Copies of this chain bind each other. A is one copy, B any other.
Amino acid sequence: MRNFNFFERVSRAYNDHPTLFRLVALSTIAISGGSIVYAEANIGSGGRAVVDPTKKKKVVVLGTGWAGMSFLKNLNNPSYEVEVVSPRNYFAFTPLLPSVTCGTVEGRSIVEPIRNIIGKKKYDARYWEAECYKIDPVEKKVYCRTAAELDGKKEFSVDYDYLVIAMGARVNTFNTPGVEENCHFLKEVEEAQNIRKNLIDSFEKASLPNLSEEDRKRILHFVVVGGGPTGVEFAAQLHDFVNDDLVKLYPKVKDHVKITLLEATDHILNMFDKRITAFAEGKFQRDGIDVKLGSMVVKVTDKEISTKARSNGETFSMPYGLCLWSTGIGPRPVIKEFMQQIGQGNRRALATDEWLRVEGYNNIYALGDCATINQRKVMEDISAIFSKADKDKSGTLTVKEFKEVIADICERYPQVELYLKKKQMRDIVDLLKEVKGDAAKETIEVSIEEFKSALSQVDSQMKNLPATAQVANQQGAYLAKCFNRTEECEQNPEGPIRFRGEGRHRFHPFRYRHLGQFAPLGGEQTAAQLPGDLVSIGHSSQWLWYSVYASKQVSWRTRALVVSDWFRRFIFGRDSSRI
């Protein structure tokens, strides 16, 4: 081999790995700026594996949100060809949307082009910028529509062997009149940017001459409907934006600003620990954010919001300037139509089994906010479980027989484990003991009736997963891993026993691992609910939050952009140009 001198080496390194090289340049800065940025770079990839193209199965992915992105990022099996259909050619890191509304972070810093993600993968992938408006599970086709007319038409269809539905959901207005027309939503980057422009505009409008005090107050009354994490974070960010930056630029109108948070239930952040809820309500009170609990919005006009108190049915009207509606989600029209088509018309989201397959369709998967896992009940399968466990067909189950299937039962029916945990029992045999009394364990034998009675309460522990980015992300990764190991698991199934069939399931069912949740409360205070009932409130969790969010960005690019946006804000404050 030749001897390289330093410059030759550097130049070779640069030509072979330009991105890596630039990253080194970057990390010098990132590290000196605080070492929040870490790990998980996924540089380059190089050659695609050679697979006979005629044998390749086509996977069509609908959507480029959390679930879709996570699936595409984790898929690694060159025996599939992938087509992605989505009206958004990028993935957006949605937890930072409330930060975009106040200009703490740039809209474009939290997005990553989907072509950057799929361009580096080993499988063949194509992306179509279009919206799917119809799914035909019989013909195995999806019908798509582009924004622009091409060759005189806007529609085209795509065939699939496997379909992955990850289209997310839309905001649920509960058919409240006037919401669509007058309220802002916060699900897309464009919506966040639009809220920011409208915010600044409110301050400009309220500063105009020849305006009554009443009108000034109305324009600067910001209302948030829905006390979930998005609504709470928006209210907190808005409060900071107003107090840190806007009061300096609009000194004459600052006293007119009012922020109101309307929540229909008895508490804000009610999916969080009670300590967090209490802290958040207290902090908002100290900050002067008016939290109105138990008030349901019944009507919105261009200048007024009407609410009804849940306690006594009293109605109340308040003038407002800008309203963010973030109360929950509902199915998109195309999903709704598909649900009707496959007999799920009365559900709120697409029902899947524990392997994320849409019920009744082995080749259609649904994940993220548009889907919900319909966990099978123990009581539905109780006879099948009993007869599968009763190996000697004696009509009774011995403890030994039972122990052999315990692991499979717990895997197939996770509610069993939750129930045991709730009852503080060590294992499932304790359940039987409860029925049979305190006889010596090993000699217990139970009949089918006793078995049923022992497990009768178990299904009460079934819970739907929350519609969060975390769930969607884990589901996408889970499904990609299944696709990656199809051939392998076909031969050596790794899932639990099929109680109602023969053999074993190919894959382990999807299991959600809750990694904690943040609720930024403004003023550099964040509440964090961590796994295992840990609760952290204050500055420390603010930094934890920053570092987790920075590390969770899909690419090194977005990571660096988000961190540098925080840095910019720290130095210069938030910008107030209406752009």
A-side residues, CB < 8 A to B, are 22-23, 25-26, 29, 33, 88-90, 103, 106-108, 111-113, 115-116, 119, 126-130, 146-148, 150-151, 156, 158, 189-190, 200-201, 204-205, 207-212, 215, 219, 248-250, 556-557, 560-561, 564, 568, 570-572, 575-579
Contact = CB atoms under 8 A, between A and B. Distances in A.
Contact of A208 (B112, B146, B204): B146
B210 A108 contact: no
Q: Which has the most chain B C-beta neighbours within 10 Å: A29, A190, A248, A249? A: A249
Given A560-B568, A579-B90, A212 B115 contact: no
A560 B578 contact: no
A25 B571 contact: yes
Given A108-B579, A210-B156, A579-B108, A115 B249 contact: yes
Contact of A201 (B115, B129, B556, B570): B129
Nearest to A112: B577
Nearest to A211: B150
A209 B29 contact: no
Given A106-B108, A129-B578, A557-B572, A113 B249 contact: yes
Nearest to A302: B149
A449 to B, nearest CB: 60
Contacts of A115: 249-250, 576
A22 B212 CA distance: 39
B579 A150 contact: no
Copies in the complex: 2
Contacts of A575: 108, 111, 113, 557
A378 to B, nearest CB: 46
A89 B150 contact: no
Contacts of A215: 150-151
A151 B211 contact: yes
A561 to B, nearest CB: 7
Nearest to A572: B557
Given A90-B579, A561-B568, A129 B249 contact: no
B108 A148 contact: no
18 contacts: A88-B578, A89-B204, A106-B106, A108-B575, A113-B575, A126-B207, A128-B207, A128-B208, A129-B201, A129-B204, A129-B207, A146-B205, A148-B201, A150-B219, A151-B210, A156-B209, A156-B210, A557-B572
